């Protein structure tokens, strides 16, 4: 490698002269400049080299172009700078037809730059919302809240949220729970009230990808959907629900954290009977077709057939109204999300660099994460 960043190396110049001497393009241009220098005022001839505005002229097919780009961009003094800085430094000493285009192409294909540089672009890909649902408690999402203080032998809360009504059920789990324990709690909390769901979203916890869990729900007709790794937005509803639950418990048991288990039923009632912002209805009303009763209300008596028909008709109308509201809310969320993203299309077979978070995905983390790669691949 020549050291040619500031002053061209003598050996480099000798090698360049030999190549130019055999170049038809160089010799033709040299002859025109020599025969009529006034017609080519930007060119001067010095030591068997052509200078264009004081810079060494190189023919566009020269084998030295790749060497120069390598040196001025990838070397320690080149520093993997961007187009403007690399081109400015390069043009101080050299010139050839298409120098900007060649430099730009070289930088775009630099593997080190692709893997390590900050990308000042909006994230690729527009929001792909989940299709609107039509019935409550058919499409659910499940998650855990861990790291809680021991309360009556439990340190984990299992949260299940209905993606249509926004209703939720909570259950507590001990420190050492198994797939069978979680499955039994799910049946006791959800299935006995609403039956098995049509689909269930969860993260990649070992429980949710175990053979027992998959086989159980396969036999029950439930489609398991696993959220994208290191992308919690896939299961955004449980993320929001968990924050609400934690804030509720924190407000009432911050002075006695081990008492949170006593409030779990109350927070479930509070959440399910509160109007949700995306539906303008409470999850209770969406599920049962009527406003939630207050503690002191009691409605005795029975219903006639006409009343039952009215109730069912009202329930159907409620579902349709809710579906339209969810569609409008979803469209609004997509429009808002897409303002911070850019559309990107990939074809099957394309090689891409993947932006990962080493501080979360330890399998690819470098020893020194602060100066590690930003992008990995290509894959």
Q: What is the mean pLDDT of each run of 10 residues along the chain (379 residues)?
A: 51 83 88 87 87 89 89 86 90 91 92 80 69 82 90 92 91 90 93 91 85 90 78 65 84 84 85 81 88 53 52 54 61 75 82 69 57 73
| Rounded-to-integer distance, Cα 14 and Cα 274, Å | 82
Instruction: Give per-residue burial for 126-141: e unless 16+ CB within 10 Å, then b.
Output: eeeeeebbeebbbbbb
What local confidence, expressed as pLDDT, does residue 296 receive? 40
Cβ neighbours of residue 255 closer than 8 Å, sequence gap 6 or more: none
What local confidence, expressed as pLDDT, does residue 5 receive? 46
What local confidence, expressed as pLDDT, does residue 300 receive? 39
What local confidence, expressed as pLDDT, does residue 155 receive? 93
In which element (H, E) is residue 25 found?
Answer: helix 24-35
- Is the pTM value of this prediction over 0.85? no
Instruction: Give per-residue burial for 283-322: e unless 16+ CB within 10 Å, then b.
Output: bbbbbbbeeeeeeeeeeeeeeeeeeeeeeeeebeebbeeb
Distances (CA, A) of 58 to 98, 135, 175: 11, 71, 72
What local confidence, expressed as pLDDT, does residue 128 receive? 65
């Amino acid at each position: 490698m020549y050291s040619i960043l500031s002053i061209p190396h003598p050996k480099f110049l000798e090698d360049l002269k030999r190549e130019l001497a055999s170049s038809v393009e160089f010799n033709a241009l040299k002859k025109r400049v020599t025969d009529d220098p006034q017609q080519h005022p930007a060119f001067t001839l010095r030591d068997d080299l052509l200078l264009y505005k004081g810079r060494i002229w190189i023919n566009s097919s020269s084998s030295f172009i790749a060497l120069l780009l390598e040196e001025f961009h990838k070397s320690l003094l080149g520093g993997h700078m961007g187009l403007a800085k690399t081109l400015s430094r390069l043009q101080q000493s050299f010139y050839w037809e298409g120098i900007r285009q060649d430099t730009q192409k070289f930088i775009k294909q630099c593997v080190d730059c692709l893997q390590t540089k900050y990308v000042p672009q909006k994230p690729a890909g527009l929001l792909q919302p989940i299709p609107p649902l039509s019935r409550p408690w058919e499409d659910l999402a499940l998650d855990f809240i861990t790291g809680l203080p021991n309360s009556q032998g439990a340190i984990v809360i299992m949260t299940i949220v209905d993606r249509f009504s926004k209703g939720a059920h909570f259950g507590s789990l001990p420190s050492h729970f198994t797939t069978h324990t979680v499955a039994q709690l799910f049946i006791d909390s959800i299935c006995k009230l609403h039956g098995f769901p049509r689909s269930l979203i969860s993260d990649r916890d070992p429980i949710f990808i175990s053979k027992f869990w998959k086989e159980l729900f396969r036999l029950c007709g439930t489609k398991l959907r696993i959220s994208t790794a290191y992308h919690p937005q896939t299961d955004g509803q449980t993320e929001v629900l968990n924050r609400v639950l934690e804030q509720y418990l924190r407000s009432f048991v911050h002075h006695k954290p081990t008492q949170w288990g006593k409030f779990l039923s109350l927070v479930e009632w509070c959440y399910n009977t509160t109007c949700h912002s995306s539906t303008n209805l409470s999850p209770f009303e969406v599920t049962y077709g009527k406003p939630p009763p207050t503690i002191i209300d009691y409605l005795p008596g029975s219903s006639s057939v006409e009343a039952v028909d009215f109730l069912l008709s009202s329930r159907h109308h409620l579902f349709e109204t809710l579906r339209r509201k969810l569609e409008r809310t979803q469209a609004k969320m997509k429009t808002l999300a897409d303002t911070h993203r850019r559309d990107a299309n990939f074809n099957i077979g394309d090689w891409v660099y993947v932006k990962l978070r080493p501080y979360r995905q330890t399998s690819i983390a470098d020893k020194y994460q602060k100066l590690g790669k930003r992008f990995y691949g290509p894959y």
